[in-house]
Each structure stands twice: as structure tokens, then as C-alpha cells.
Homo-oligomer: A and B are copies of this chain.
């Protein structure tokens, strides 16, 4: 069904607390209930298997590129970025791609 995937990795700034990272996870998870274009959001924190990894990941599956863009630009999403992610963000890596069924 969903065939457009958004992947973003975050590395948090030094001094970021577990509570701050959990707040981001909680706020992003809530978006699935607010933005109808979201197919699914898989959110996780690094398992600690390999050194040098990023800290936090979001994999979002959408039915189309347009649905992803609706999520990207939705005010509720922008608010989470501005209020909870940017204040603790050190580094970001992202990609979107067509995802075979």
C-alpha cells in the first residue's frame, strides 16, 4: 500500500536528556492521529550495537509523495520540529524514496 518512504536520522546535542528525546518521540507519534496523510511512523532510538551511530530515527510510510509533503508541511509537524527537535539537534540526515510494495 504505502510506497513513499521518508527516513530521517537525528544526532542530539551534548547534554540532551532522555526526557527531551522521549518528548520528541511522543510528540511525533501523536502526529499519526492528527495528520490523515500519514500512513505509519516508525520511531526508534539507537540500540547501541555500533559506535558512531545517530541517536534517533523516524521512518514514515506514505501512500504517495504528495501525502509525504502534506506531512512535511503540516503545522502540527512544523511545531514539533521547531519546539522540540531544533533545540536539541546536532546533526540531521534524511532521504525520501519510492518503496516497492
A interface, CB within 8 angstroms of B: 4-5, 7, 9, 42, 44-47, 49-50, 52-57, 59, 65, 68-69, 72, 93-100
Closest to A68 in B: B49
Closest to A52 in B: B94
CB <8 Å contact, A95 and B57? yes
CB <8 Å contact, A95 and B4? no
Which of B5, B45, B95, B100 makes the CB contact (< 8 A) with A9? B95
Which of B54, B65, B68, B99 makes the CB contact (< 8 A) with A95? B54
Cα distance A71–B47 in the bound complex, in angstroms: 16
Some 30 contacts from A to B, beta carbons below 8 A apart, are A4-B47, A5-B42, A5-B59, A7-B7, A7-B57, A7-B59, A9-B93, A9-B94, A42-B100, A44-B95, A44-B97, A45-B97, A46-B95, A46-B96, A46-B97, A47-B65, A47-B97, A49-B68, A49-B96, A50-B72, A50-B94, A50-B96, A52-B94, A53-B94, A53-B95, A54-B93, A54-B94, A55-B95, A57-B97, A59-B59
